[in-house]
Amino acid sequence: MAYLRVENLSLSLEHERDEEGKSLLRHVSLDIEKKEIVGILGPSGAGKSLLLRAIVGLEKPTEGEIFLEGQALSLVPPSERSMAYLSQRLVLYPHLSGEKNAGFFYWIRGGVKRHEAIRFHPVVFEVLRHLHLTEEHLLKRLPKTMAGGEKQRIALARAIASEARILLLDEPFANIEEGFRDTLRHFLRQWIRQREQTAFIVSHNQEEMASLCDRLVLLDKGTVIQQGSYEDLCFSPTSRITALFMGVSRKNFLSSEMLQKLWGKRLPYDVVLLPSLGRKEPLDEWDLEVKGPVLMVEHFFREKKKLLCIEYKNELFFWEVEESFPIQKGERVCWYLPLKEGWFFEKEYPYRRIYQGVFS
């Protein structure tokens, strides 16, 4: 039995539905194991934050149920679910100092004597130390006097310093300076493991999620599109949505109509190809010739690669080449896209992948 089960969950807010008038969460089902760290990904409006709010009990599902160790949670209030929730809105208690906000769990439950500073509670102190929140002048200030990054760290400290069994963190690294994010991500994973907690984390940063989470779940229009490891979603997409959303942002998407215009042949499928698949010479009839001016050259010095954006028949194509490849913006280039190495997808939502019968 799964530790936490989301079963056929649908949810509509009273005044909010999608443009088609449908629910914002649609028949979402997930099985989460104890001590698992699950990352929730998806475009804006996919239902990521709403799913967290439903799990923690701040939104009531219109259909379905959430189970924790076999117990249905529909009648369990949020305060009794043993969950800590970090909202994107960074809701801090405006009348409490940073110190009391960060250690709120222990302060409100009497875990710290009145004459003692909350920051010296061993759990709170450890969290504050790793979040670089040890300065007394900061901890004594009210939230209205804090910068965005300071509020973010205080709110995150409050969530992870609690004794909750499940953490639900919505964009936990937003507003935090780039140089500190890697260190903080490493600490957060170790901390969750050490305390044997289960966690849901929402973020738009795929690389951060790949290193932090055990499993990723991709949502779109309130529906689970695919779940698995980062490698699964990047290199074995089961939907066109996954193929275009995950990994490198610039891929070659060719609709069946575009293929007919460029190639003279019509397929009943759309195709997505990674920019790294391009080559200088054709190998067979399934290689699509692309020739035109280079509109943009984007350099990736760490990988010693560069990405060319090429215009061909009023369409844009992307080709990844070695950094040493002799080409400049404005020059013309001729290369080939191997269609046989692409991913083929149905034309109807959710654009499922076709594995057989494309080349017969």
Q: What is the pLDDT of residues 134-187, one digit of tens each?
A: 998 999 999 999 999 999 999 999 999 998 999 999 999 999 998 899 999 999
Q: Does 339 have pLDDT greater than 60?
A: yes
- C-alpha 217/C-alpha 215 separation (Å) is 7
Identity at 275, one-letter amino acid code: P
For residue 41, give every residue at least 6 positions away whose Cβ sits within 8 Å of its Cβ, in sequence order, or none.
Answer: 48, 202, 203, 204, 206, 209, 216, 217, 218, 219, 245, 246
Q: Which residues, including other chains, have CB under 8 Å from residue 78's CB and lie 6 or more apart?
A: 56, 57, 58, 85
What does the alpha-carbon distance between residue 223 and residue 29 come to, in Å, rounded to a whole number? 9
pLDDT at 21 > cutoff 60: no
The CATH architecture one would assign to domain 4-236 is: 3-Layer(aba) Sandwich (3.40)
Q: What average pLDDT does range 239-264 have in this prediction?
A: 93
> What is the model's pLDDT at position 14?
63
Q: Where in the chain is the domain with CATH 3.40.50.300?
A: 4-236
Q: How many other CB atoms are found less than 10 A from the CB of residue 20? A: 6
Residue 246 pLDDT grade (very low, low, confident, very high; cuts 50, 70, 90): very high
The 10 Å Cβ neighbour count of residue 335 is: 21
The mean predicted confidence, pLDDT, of the chain is 92
pLDDT of residue 178: 87
Percentage, residues of the chain above pLDDT 70: 94
Residue 20: pLDDT band by 50, 70, 90 thresholds? low
Question: Looking at domain 252-354, does it have CATH number 2.40.50.140?
Answer: yes
